Chains A and B, each alone.
Chain A
Amino acid sequence: MNSHQLFRRSRLRLATWYAIVMGGILSLSGFGMARALVQANWVALEREIESIAGTLHDSLEPMLPPSEDPTDVLQQIFPDLCVVDQPCEPNSSLIQRHTLGVSDRTTYYIRLFDNQGNLLAFSPNQPTTLPTTLNPDLWQTLQTLEGKRYHQFTTILHSAHTHSESGQLHNGESWGYLQVGRTLAAFDAEMQRLRWVLLGGIPLILGLIAVSSWWLSGLAMQPIYQSYQRQQQFTANAAHELRSPLASLLATVEASLRLPQSKQVPDPVLLQAVERQGRRLSQLVTDLLLLTTLEQNTTTKPPQPCCLNDIIADLTEELAELASATDIHLSSQIVDIEIHVMGLESQLYRLVSNLMANAIQYTPSGGSVVVSLANHDRSATIAVKDTGVGIPTEEQSRIFERFYRVNSDRSRKTGGTGLGLSIAQAIAQRHHGQITVTSEVGNGSAFIIHLPHIAIV
């Protein structure tokens, strides 16, 4: 069906846009989070290197030997270090490890330079490709041939001895440089893992978004589709309702035209039939227009205070004739105080009279219809109770639908256009009220209109 395709296309479009927008937002925030995580790791790493370098620097400075022949002294301080131009034998006694002070030997390395930038000593585990000359940059990131990366921090060492013994010579000058480096293996592995999580996670998330957006757009389209179907049903019903009186109107006219020429004087019986059908049509169209006006909220008249007591008294009087025609006892119970509501009087008349006319119509002769007006804290209630045929529970929710008739009886016998309760409900809703129904098959029904009242002294 064409409309199905239309709705399907709209749904697809909605889902696509939803998926694009949500996917974009989630991907962006995912990348942003990853970036922030990497940055935080990096900062933590640098802080760690810096603090280790600081500790080493602080504990080294007081023990630094005078610059003439530092290597012996250095080996005493750092027994673990290899000294340049000497064979390097990794010595691994526990005590020596502790003296180095760097907990994980495989992670960190240190290098010592004199103040000319010549390498004096280094840890045996330093990257093999490092140059023997000093690069005095504060932070450096190095990469070995095998692809291992290192991050390295350089700090200046000042000698305590030179200061105290021959201050005039070396005042303010540096003894040398200390470099502390750390392998980035763990950091890189973390980065790699993050990249995999993102690469694997994002398509998964996008798939989930696609599925859920399809589902959500279906959910969003459902009320539109339902109201579209209701509208279609309404159009079909309206056409059906308009066709029947038109058909009988045409049949009447045709029958009168077929009469022999001599008898073609206007026949009052036929004309009355035509008038009746015409009125029916006119009534139906008027009701449809009223309903449309009510639902589109287009009336421009300002609401005024309306006295419900008067409305009910008038309508009871007005409909007494209709009720007595079918031998129904119509009575009203009205409270003594006047109850006013804000609204359009003509619409309120219509609201109450629709319910009363319904009650009279669906009550067999000999029954009774009671209209009562009561005042409550916040609202006024108008109850229309009858001893009529009643409405089955399963039908009660549908009686306010346009053209809906209980027992699917579309017979003209019961009169009405099938719009009475729809109009009543539309009016009640426009006046910020509602209509409730209680009914029992065989025992009659009670329609109660709740309307917010205004206090008038």
Chain B
Amino acid sequence: MLQVKRLDQPAQEISLTLKEFQVLTYLMENCDRIIPGSKLRSQLWDLDEEPISNVVAAQIRLLRRKFARHDCDCPIETVPGQGYRFRTLP
């Protein structure tokens, strides 16, 4: 469960899967840096897992959809051809 608190709104909870949580955590730990998808994959996934779960883009998409469903802006942005970045600065 992820608690999101915005200044002007009451706190809400968004439930995440383990993988989504791991991706988000990793990106937050390395915020404002571009993390290549291959790096994420080698850090967070075993080789033997099912193909679907090691498609990083799919996890990012799921994360974004969850954020959108709760009317939150997703802080993860895609840098085409390079990777992903968790933005803390506007």
* Chain A residues in the interface with B (C-beta under 8 A): 279, 282-283, 286, 310, 313-315, 317-318, 320-324, 345-347, 349-350, 353
Contact = CB atoms under 8 A, between A and B. Distances in A.
B75 interface: no
Contact of B78 (A310, A317, A322, A350): A317
A315 B57 contact: yes
B11 interface: no
Interface string B39-56: 000000001101111011
Contacts, number: 51
Interface of B: 36-38, 47-48, 50-53, 55-58, 60-61, 78, 80-83
A315 B55 contact: yes
A346 B81 contact: no
A321 B51 contact: no
10 contacts: A315-B55, A315-B57, A318-B58, A320-B81, A321-B81, A321-B82, A347-B51, A349-B51, A349-B52, A349-B58
A321 B79 CA distance: 10
Given A314-B61, A318-B57, A353 B81 contact: no
Q: Is the interface of A mostly helix, strand, loop or mixed?
A: helix
Contacts of A279: 47
A320 B58 CA distance: 14
Given A310-B58, A349-B58, 6 more contacts: A313-B57, A315-B55, A317-B80, A318-B56, A321-B36, A346-B52
A314 B52 CA distance: 10
A318 B37 contact: yes
A322 B57 CA distance: 13
A320 B60 CA distance: 15
Contacts of A283: 47
A282 B47 contact: yes
Shortest beta-carbon contacts, A-B, top 7: A346-B52, A324-B81, A314-B57, A317-B57, A318-B57, A320-B81, A350-B51
A353 B57 contact: no
Contacts of A320: 80-81
